[in-house]
């Protein structure tokens, strides 16, 4: 018997609700991973293999979950990761998510390929947002995006480095997202017509459904097929560390590199002068078969954690997972699927509820591990495999 989920409590609950509310091709777009989804599954499973160490009779009065990420004060060390097409999952979805993040006191990152333009998101909030960027072949477009982000008050740039080509995502293939023609159109039309609430609330009332940050740059920015063709021609597989230096010279704020999964690359990022890096495998959406971020994080922290801020994303599904990431050495985490599931399921209120629950889960984990501040969470708060 299917649960009613009148009161969703977990990211998984919101996932179930999102699946019910979204057309199938949109749900699979946010939910799926590359090829056989091995890395997608490992990302989640490997956090569960990190056991916490419970302590008792420790003075844990006044536990504080607050921290700073990229110099920005946060009520808990979590930022909302950039998610493309978020405005297709709920009406003006990026605006709703940014408001929820502000209400809970965490950063929101706007994707270059979001639906809502930067100025709309910034106008709706009173705290600075982070902006995510891909390196595009036309460097003039890159410079325009950088200038707009800075003028809008963004001071943290998240530069994604693991997307020289788009990963093979079989769910999107099966749903016709990577194909044109009548058959693909019929598959998507059936999905839309099967979800009249989404059709009315998002497709009709959520207009314009265009790539807001690229409307002036991309011919046919309102047409998904035309936009995909533009992306295929503009995502630049020639990007090297020299381009990071070029970007560093043109961005006066904080620069975070997202997509680091190797110690050598982390060390190169430090040499390139970035202020932080995000250990990430793109949520398992790029190269299937690579190791999980939970498995890769400790070595990267050991190599560069004393020199730069190390964040992590991928598979984090609860406040307890946030604790695990901090205990493994991360300064904080970014989350993608959990917030987009909550957004699709219940809009701004859903994202706010999810983050508030995670803050409570993190507080409880800290309390029962005997630690009062985020900065004090250490590897010693985890069990070792040979612990008595």
C-beta separation of 380 from 58 below 8 A: no
Q: What value does the CA radius of gyration of the chain take, rounded to a whole number of Å?
A: 20
Question: How far from the centroid of its chain's Cα atoms is residue 377's Cα?
Answer: 23
Helix (H) or strand (E) holding 13: helix 11-21
Please state the domain count of the chain. Answer: 1
Structure tokens at 332: 């904080």
Please report where in the chains the tokens 């992590």 appear, as a residue.
312
Specify if 387 maps to a domain. Answer: no
Specify if 310 maps to a domain. Answer: yes
Specify if 112 maps to a domain. Answer: yes
CATH of residue 208's domain is 3.20.20.70
C-beta separation of 87 from 116 below 8 A: yes
The predicted model scores a pTM of 0.95
pLDDT of the chain, 388 residues: tens digit per residue? 346 678 999 999 999 999 999 999 999 999 999 999 999 999 999 999 999 999 999 999 999 999 999 999 999 999 999 999 999 999 999 999 999 999 999 999 999 999 999 999 999 998 899 999 988 888 898 999 999 999 999 999 999 999 888 889 999 989 888 777 888 888 888 989 999 999 999 999 999 988 889 888 776 556 666 666 676 677 778 889 999 999 999 999 999 999 999 999 999 999 999 999 999 999 999 999 999 999 999 999 999 999 999 999 999 999 999 999 999 999 999 999 999 999 999 999 999 999 999 999 999 999 999 999 999 999 999 998 655 4
Specify if 6 maps to a domain. Answer: no
Determine how many CB atoms are found less than 10 A away from the CB of residue 4.
6
Specify if 388 maps to a domain. Answer: no
SS3 content of the chain, % helix, strand, coil (to 5): 50, 10, 40
Q: Which residues are catalytic?
A: 282
Specify if 202 maps to a domain. Answer: yes
Question: How far from the centroid of its chain's Cα atoms is residue 276's Cα?
Answer: 16
The torsion angles phi and psi of 15, rounded to 5 degrees, stand at: -60, -45
Specify if 248 maps to a domain. Answer: yes
Which structural domain range is residue 33 located in? Answer: 11-381
């Amino acid at each position: 018997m299917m649960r009613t989920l009148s009161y969703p409590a977990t990211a998984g609950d919101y996932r179930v609700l999102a699946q019910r509310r979204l057309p199938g091709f949109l749900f699979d777009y946010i939910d799926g991973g590359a090829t056989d989804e091995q890395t997608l599954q490992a990302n989640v499973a490997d956090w569960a293999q990190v056991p916490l160490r419970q302590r008792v009779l420790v003075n844990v009065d006044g536990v504080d979950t607050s921290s700073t990420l990229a110099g920005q004060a946060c009520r808990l060390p979590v930022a909302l990761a950039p998610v493309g097409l978020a405005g297709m999952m709920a009406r003006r979805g990026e605006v709703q998510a940014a408001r929820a993040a502000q209400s809970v006191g965490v950063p929101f990152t706007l994707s270059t390929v979001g639906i809502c333009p930067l100025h709309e998101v910034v106008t709706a909030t009173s705290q600075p947002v982070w902006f995510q960027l891909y390196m595009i072949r036309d460097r003039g477009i890159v410079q325009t995006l950088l200038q707009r982000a800075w003028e809008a008050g963004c001071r943290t740039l998240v530069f994604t480095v693991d997307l020289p080509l788009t990963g093979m995502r079989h769910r999107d293939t099966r749903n016709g997202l990577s194909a044109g023609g009548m058959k693909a159109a019929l598959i998507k039309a059936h999905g839309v017509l099967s979800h009249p609430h989404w059709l009315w609330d998002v497709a009709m009332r959520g207009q314009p459904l265009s790539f807001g940050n690229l409307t002036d740059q991309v011919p046919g920015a309102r047409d998904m097929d035309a936009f995909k063709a533009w992306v295929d021609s503009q995502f630049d597989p020639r990007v090297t560390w020299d381009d990071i230096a070029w970007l560093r010279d043109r961005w006066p704020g904080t620069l975070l590199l997202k997509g680091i999964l190797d110690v050598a690359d982390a060390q190169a990022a430090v040499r390139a002068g970035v202020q932080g890096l995000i250990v990430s495998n793109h949520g398992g959406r790029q190269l299937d078969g690579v190791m999980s971020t939970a498995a890769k994080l400790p070595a990267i922290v050991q190599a560069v954690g004393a020199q730069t801020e190390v964040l992590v994303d991928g598979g984090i599904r609860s406040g307890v997972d946030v604790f695990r990431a901090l205990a493994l050495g991360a300064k904080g985490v970014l989350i993608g699927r959990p917030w987009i599931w909550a957004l699709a399921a219940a809009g701004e209120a859903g994202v706010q509820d999810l983050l508030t629950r995670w803050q409570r889960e993190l507080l409880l984990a800290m309390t029962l591990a005997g630690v009062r501040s985020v900065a004090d969470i250490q590897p010693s708060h985890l069990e070792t495999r040979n612990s008595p």
